[in-house]
Structure 1
């Protein structure tokens, strides 16, 4: 048997750069597509809905908008392809490994497609733009799945011990929120480039610059990490949907997913509406979005060492439940907020706590369940466990996008507050469900099967 190289924190940090890359691309699309393709401009924020005239805006079915349905269809398509790509990755017999070949292949087309979403649906024919936007969004989510699903599987495989699983979850959480935070710089960067390229051109150029940065970040771990040097894995023989069924047959995994899907429904409602909450409810300029997000990110990062320490002391489950209830407070504040920049900072500071907790620990929980299954069955299906999780929560995200764009079609303050209220109720339900997850049992069995104190 080949002697594997030890997994170090340096390696895990390099791996985490990939998370920065794909979260930056995801952030550009999830945070700004709705903002630029729907809504209406005002004196403070003249770029709101800048591309809205190019696509169909009026409701087409039971007050459901075309844009909302397109976004939802993209997430559903994304969710369906997750287990297929996970099964493909788990069964991959490439000499470079099961995961790295996907990362190397998909980074560039994933980045190019992000640029296309803001550049190509701009013809003079609205019906053509609708079709182009739909096709591009499907391709975007396919490429994202083909990068992210194998990437996420490496979380469990590089997390060969409990400490490494928490560490890698911490590092990728940090790079994830940095990527998301930088995506909020889009209006600022576009403003600086407006004199060169005009309003629309500046936005497209800004997206292109961010996509190039993201592409480099994704390619660094893809070519630096030699998977075979660190992971001794045997391709799985189980077919994708049979593997998916096996994954959901795990009771503890189901308990985790039930709460996770509801949480992501609530969080997607909030994240989709964040730019609107700030510009419509608090009546502040969209260029403040980055400052507020950076504040939230900085405080969250400062809390990482504490979260890491408390996870070992009191367990991940207790902290995750605290995170759920903390987000409930954030959503409640949003429902009640008034006009003024101070409301934005109140939400930013309050949201930093659950962001730190829920950005780190859920991935570690999935890695724990995947590790226990590997030890019990001898079959490594890490890719499918992470794909099954994303399959479930993307269904929640799809529903959230339909509901958000439909509820806010009137573009009134009451409609935006209603989305935050729904997020509050759902997050509270998710917290209650997570009480059924038995972390102690999972870690106890891992320790027993490994026959050592190091899990």
Structure 2
């Protein structure tokens, strides 16, 4: 059997470029889909149209139902694709073939989600969006689940694992930051193309960039040199059940679900917090996110160093608490006599610290747990561990989308400038703070010492 190489930092950075691509596409959907299809009065005044019906069904909006169902479909297909990836026998390995297959369709369907072939408030547009939303999430699963499964395989030691988590967090931030540029770039085309068309052209350009990035690791990394490509013999369902039998993983997943519900509420609402609560133009979303990104990146070296010295658990628990405080501050946006831009900067800086920690360490925690489980069971199921994680938090994201689009409608008829204006958006930030705090309390039950000791014991016996 050929000895596997330890991935160099160059290989880890090549791998991280793929994250930039898929996070750009994910960021476009997470930040602008609801903004596009459930526009605020400010955006309607700029020329945006209502492409799908605005009414509610049992309190749920059409866009909320579509995005939530898409996430549920995404979550359900994760274990299936993970099982197929873990058990794949292919000359290129278990992960790379999926990544090559999914990248281009992933970019194409992202663009098609913003195409509305029918007139205003048409149910036909809602059906069209539903179909391509399902395709988007399936393509996302086909790329991201095998991609994430390579993390513990390329990160074969504690140091490389943390380094890789750091690198992909950096590219994730850049991908998300570029996604926030959508209204800024669209502004270039606004006068000639109109509101909706300018968004579509912008998203098409960014999707092309994203596809190129996703293909970089798919063609430049030889999986056979660095990863264990031995196919798993378990079926997808049995592998999923075995994964959830791991107690430490269950604790992690429970905290992760709460975190992702809160974070999704915040991310979906960010453009609304800026335009409605603070009264700024949507084009200010990118500068504020850029500030948060720069400050967050400044903390990356410290997170990398301190996590190696004091472990991941303490830093993650602290990040949960800090994020909760940042969300509370967001909920009070526009109520305190501080200039809007200054208040936006305060929120960005506060969110930067936990973003740095939670952008790096959770992926490394899953890698630790999967590695310890491999030593205990003798079976390599990294793909299923990452799929099980995404299966759980995507269900949480589905719930968050339903919650946000419905809660946002609370007092939505209030006149601009009145005391209750933007109450629904404010409540979403408050709920995000509560959920993030609960997630931190749950994570304190994670037994990091036991997991690390098992990995160290396995290394000594290797």
- Range into which the TM-score falls when normalised by the shorter chain: over 0.9
Question: Partner residue of 1:379?
Answer: 379
Residue 415 (structure 1) aligns with: 424
2:109 corresponds in structure 1 to 113
Partner of 2:456: 447
Counterpart in the other structure of 2:56:
59
Asked if the contact 1:38/1:49 (under 8 Å) is kept, the reply is no
Quote the residue 2:249 is aligned against: 253
Matches within 5 A, 1:32-181: 32-42=32-42, 45=43, 50-51=48-49, 53-61=50-58, 63-123=59-119, 126-181=122-177
CA contact (8 A) 1:370 1:382 kept: yes
Matches within 5 A, 1:21-420: 21-42=21-42, 45=43, 50-51=48-49, 53-61=50-58, 63-123=59-119, 126-338=122-334, 340-410=340-410, 411=412, 412-420=421-429
Q: Which runs of 5+ in 1 are unaligned?
A: none
Displacement of 1:4: 2.9
With the length of structure 1 as denominator, give the TM-score of the two structures: 0.96
C-alpha separation in 1, matches of 2:317 and 2:46: 36
C-alpha distance in 2, partners of 1:359/1:303?
11
Deviation at 1:334, TM superposition (A): 0.8
Preserved CA contact (<8 Å) 1:79 1:394: yes
Aligned equivalents of 1:137, 1:162: Cα separation in 2: 37
1:3 deviation in Å? 3.5
Q: Aligned equivalents of 2:273 and 2:33: distance in 1?
A: 16
How many angstroms apart in 2 are the aligned matches of 1:335 and 1:28?
24
Equivalent pair of 1:253/1:369 in contact (CA under 8 Å): yes
What is the CA–CA distance in structure 1 between the aligned matches of 2:73 and 2:128, rounded to whole Å? 16
Q: Deviations over 1:263-319 (max 9, x none)?
A: 100110111100000100000011110000001001111110000001011110000
Contact 2:232 2:380 in 1 (8 A): yes
> How many angstroms apart in 2 are the aligned matches of 1:293 and 1:424?
19
Residue aligning to 2:416: none
> Is this contact kept in 2: 1:37–1:49, CA < 8 A?
no
Instruction: Label 1:202 to 1:232 Cα distance change in 2 as closer, same or farther (>3 A).
Output: same
Q: Secondary structure at the match of 2:57?
A: strand
In structure 2, how many angstroms separate the alpha carbons of the residues matched to 1:123 and 1:348? 38
Deviation at 1:123, TM superposition (A): 4.6
> For each residue in 1:19-67, what CA deviation from the matched residue of structure 2 results, as whole angstroms up to 9, or x when unmatched?
000000000011001111103332xx5577824x210111112x11111
Distance of 2:47 and 2:351 partners within structure 1: 27
Call closer, same or farther: CA 1:447–1:246 in 2, change over 3 Å: same
Q: Distance in 2 between matches of 1:177 and 1:121?
A: 33
Structure 2 unaligned residues grouped into runs of 5+: 413-420
Deviation by residue 1:169-189 (Cα, 9 ceiling, x = unmatched): 000001001100110000000
Q: Give TM-score scaled by structure 2 length.
A: 0.95
Is 1:435 equivalent to 2:444 in the alignment?
yes
Q: Deviations over 1:128-147 (max 9, x none)?
A: 11111111101100000000
* Aligned-partner SS, 1:118: coil
The alpha carbon displacement at 1:120 in A equals 4.1
SS at match of 2:114: helix
Distance 1:369 1:228 in 2: 23
Deviation at 1:124, TM superposition (A): 6.0
Contact 1:38/1:48 (<8 A) preserved: no
Post-superposition Cα deviations, 1:306-364, rounded to whole Å, max 9, x if no partner, equal 00001011110000001101101111101112161111100000000000000000000
| 1:375 shift after superposition | 1.6
Q: Distance in 2 between matches of 1:91 and 1:134?
A: 31
Task: Indicate conservation of the 8 Å contact 1:35/1:49, yes or no.
Answer: no
Q: Structure 1: how far apart are the matches of 2:27 and 2:74? A: 16
Q: Is the 1:54–1:121 contact (alpha carbons within 8 Å) kept by the matching residues of 2?
A: no
Question: Residues 425 and 406 of structure 1: is their aligned pair in 2 closer, same or farther, counting only changes over 3 Å?
Answer: same
Deviation at 1:229, TM superposition (A): 1.6
